[in-house]
Amino acid sequence: MSTRVLYLFICGAGSANRIIEMIALAHADGWSVHCVATPAAVEHFLDISALEEATGHQVRTTYRKPGDESLPSADGVIVAPATYNTINKWAAGSADTYALNQLAELTGLGLPIVVLPFVNQALAANRVFHQSVDELRQVGVRVLFGPGEFEPHPPRTGNQVLDTYPWALALKALNEQATA
């Protein structure tokens, strides 16, 4: 049985410092995990060496240089934690970072993609955020936002909800999409 390839896009949000939990769940489910991190995730939340050790693969943060490991073709994509900024820019078609460029391309390929936001109630209350979530859903992206999925927390309380961030829900949704 061949291993399925998961691209895990990591944005700069509080739960990013617990991304090893998502990687462990994915490995237990038979996925080979390849991480792509946004500049904010790298600068503020991630230990790149620990990620590379956990996945066995180079973490991609920018375009490939000669000699860098090429990413294998993905079977599925999870964007977690997905920030307000990334969701809005992706839905608007912005490709001003490596991660956004890759997400635009992967969306166009029609791969199973699951988004697990990490936003507070004030950000989630913005009309543009709801429009962005709707736009991504319209193109086939599974955004886990709303009752029974990710529910925003009050501003400045993100650290209080880290233990309940639903990593497993993202993997479950991806498995459902990948087998549909």
The pair of three-digit structure tokens given for residue 21, joined into one six-digit string: 């939990």
pLDDT of residue 2: 56
Give residue 8's domain range: 4-179
- Give which of 28, 44, 111, 112 is closest to 81, Cα–Cα: 44
Its pTM stands at 0.96
The pair of three-digit structure tokens given for residue 14, joined into one six-digit string: 């509080």
Angle between helices 84-92 and 98-109 in degrees, nearest 10: 50
Rg (CA), the chain: 15
DSSP state of 153: B
pLDDT of residue 124: 98
Sequence length of the chain is 180
Per-residue confidence of the chain (180 residues) as pLDDT tens digits? 458 999 999 999 999 999 999 999 999 999 999 999 999 999 999 999 999 999 999 999 999 888 877 889 999 999 999 999 999 999 999 999 999 999 999 999 999 999 999 999 999 999 999 999 999 999 999 999 999 999 999 999 999 999 999 999 999 999 998 776
Given strand 76-82, what is the order of strands in its sheet?
31-37, 4-10, 76-82, 113-117, 142-143
pLDDT of residue 1: 45
Q: How far apart are CA 104 and CA 95, in angstroms?
A: 7
pLDDT of residue 67: 81
- Say which CATH number the domain at 68 has: 3.40.50.1950
For the beta carbon of residue 31, count every other beta carbon within 10 angstroms. 23
Q: Specify the number of domains making up the chain.
A: 1
